[in-house]
């Protein structure tokens, strides 16, 4: 959580691309410390280091992608990090079946070198370059990203967005303005409600939950099932998000996630009644959890991260991204920490019903407050919030 927050001022000072480059190799080193621990303290250093660098990388990716991508590709691009997370989860679920934890840690260090080399080919954000009065470099980046663009018009639009935020610390003052505070609070509410709805416990405690539900599957099979379903669903999200739109995807999946959790909770509560017998209830619980995983992968998982890139105004983007990432990390920690206590208090079925209620409340937030941003430039999104107009009007102009 701390590394997510301090990444905000670091982004402003160093640039998004440079900070990402500086984070990749230390992350690999920390995984190698875990793979070859010379002492107990080395394991602690490696674990803290992997968490710290992950927090920084997680905070940087969405703003950088949003500022580099054209509107028509932005939904797909902003979903790619969530696909990589799903691949990583599935990979880490599978590794312990075949390798020791030390060998697994060594293998997890391997992708960072090609990632570092590929990032050398990625340009810096033109927004950051213009804030540092590097107009010539910004123009080159814009032409490289889209040779057919009107560079002068793009520069004017970006400079008007960047005019009020020369430093990270001045963004704290900018955040007091309604046009900046509204989108930040909207994104925060999505993350807070989504993660209080229990996705992290489903992915971390899946084998434990299936065992409590009476599902006759080993831990490895349970984890692989959940990981594979999430990965396939997230890929589907990337393919359709720019055509369907953020708002309908998020609204539908919030409702469907709530319904799946309610079914799972009801089946688990009925399973506690000895007069009913087990019957098909364990299978119903399994299918409901897998459906929740699929719906989450399509919408609730990737779309809030897309909103980080699209809704956060340029004037407070690095501060907003740092706040959102910090709240995300804190919420995941809290819900994972209290999950065993929730089970003891409410039972597993009651806990799932509570999660269903939280996801239903998220659907209401989406329904009443979330505008459509697909097909809009970042400047159009900011202007719509500044003028207090519904973004749906802009979406109609963009053909969404």
Q: Encode the chain (400 residues) as per-residue pLDDT tens digits.
A: 677 778 878 888 888 899 999 999 999 999 999 999 888 899 999 999 998 999 899 889 888 888 888 878 888 888 888 999 899 888 888 887 888 888 988 999 999 999 999 999 999 998 888 888 888 998 899 888 888 888 888 888 777 766 554 566 777 888 888 888 889 999 999 999 999 999 999 888 887 888 877 777 787 788 888 899 999 999 999 998 888 889 999 999 999 999 999 999 998 888 765 555 556 777 888 899 999 999 999 999 999 999 998 898 888 888 888 899 899 999 999 999 999 999 999 998 999 999 999 999 999 999 999 888 887 888 788 777 766 554 444 444 444 4
Residues 172 and 310 in one domain: yes
Residues 155 and 238 in one domain: no
- Are 9 and 79 members of one domain? yes
Residues 6 or more apart whose CB falls under 8 angstroms from that of 4 comprise: 55, 56, 58, 59, 322, 325, 326, 328, 329
- Torsion angle defined by CA atoms of residues 316, 318, 323 and 326, in that order, rounded to the nearest 10 degrees: 170
Largest CA distance in the chain: 76
Same domain? 203 vs 339: yes
Domain interval for residue 265: 2-122+164-397
Residue at which a domain ends, from 132, 163, 194: 163
Distance CA 233, CA 253 (A): 11
The number of angstroms, rounded, from the C-alpha of 74 to the middle of its chain's C-alpha atoms is: 15
Tokens standing for residue 248:
């309908």
**CB neighbours of residue 243 within 10 Å:** 11
Among the listed residues 285, 290, 227, the one whose alpha carbon sits nearest the alpha carbon of residue 85: 227
**What is the domain count for the chain?**
2
């Amino acid at each position: 959580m701390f590394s997510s927050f301090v990444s905000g001022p670091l982004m402003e000072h160093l640039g998004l691309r440079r900070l990402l480059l500086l984070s990749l190799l230390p992350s690999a080193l920390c995984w190698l410390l875990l793979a070859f621990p010379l002492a107990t303290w080395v394991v602690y250093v490696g674990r803290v280091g992997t968490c710290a660098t992950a927090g920084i990388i997680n905070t940087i990716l969405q703003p950088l992608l949003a500022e580099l991508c054209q509107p028509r590709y932005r939904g797909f691009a902003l979903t790619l990090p969530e696909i990589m997370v799903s691949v990583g989860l599935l990979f880490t679920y599978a590794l312990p079946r075949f390798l020791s934890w030390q060998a697994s840690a060594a293998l997890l260090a391997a992708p960072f070198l090609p990632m570092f080399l590929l990032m050398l080919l990625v340009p810096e954000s033109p927004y950051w370059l213009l804030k540092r009065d590097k107009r010539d470099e910004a123009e080159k980046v814009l032409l490289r990203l889209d040779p057919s663009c009107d560079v002068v018009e793009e520069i004017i639009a970006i400079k008007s967005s960047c005019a009020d935020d020369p430093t990270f610390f001045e963004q704290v003052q900018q955040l007091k303005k309604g046009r900046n505070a509204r989108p930040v609070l909207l994104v925060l509410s999505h993350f807070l409600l989504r993660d209080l709805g229990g996705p992290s416990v489903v992915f971390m405690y899946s084998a434990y939950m299936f065992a409590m539900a009476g599902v006759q599957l080993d831990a490895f099979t349970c984890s692989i099932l959940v990981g594979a379903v999430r990965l396939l669903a997230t890929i589907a999200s990337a393919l359709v998000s720019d055509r369907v739109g953020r708002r309908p995807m998020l609204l539908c999946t919030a409702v469907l996630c709530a319904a799946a959790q309610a079914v799972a909770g009801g089946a688990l509560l009925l399973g506690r009644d000895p007069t009913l017998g087990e019957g098909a209830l364990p299978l119903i619980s399994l299918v409901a959890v897998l459906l929740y995983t699929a719906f989450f992968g399509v919408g609730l998982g990737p779309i809030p991260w897309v909103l980080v890139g699209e809704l956060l105004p340029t004037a407070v983007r690095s501060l907003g991204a740092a706040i959102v990432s910090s709240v995300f990390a804190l919420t995941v920690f809290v819900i994972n920490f209290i999950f065993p206590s929730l089970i003891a208090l409410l039972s597993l079925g009651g806990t799932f019903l509570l999660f269903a209620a939280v996801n239903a409340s998220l659907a209401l937030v989406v329904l009443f407050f979330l505008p459509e941003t697909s097909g809009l430039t970042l400047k159009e999104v900011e202007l719509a919030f500044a003028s207090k107009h519904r973004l749906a009007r802009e979406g109609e102009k963009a053909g969404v």
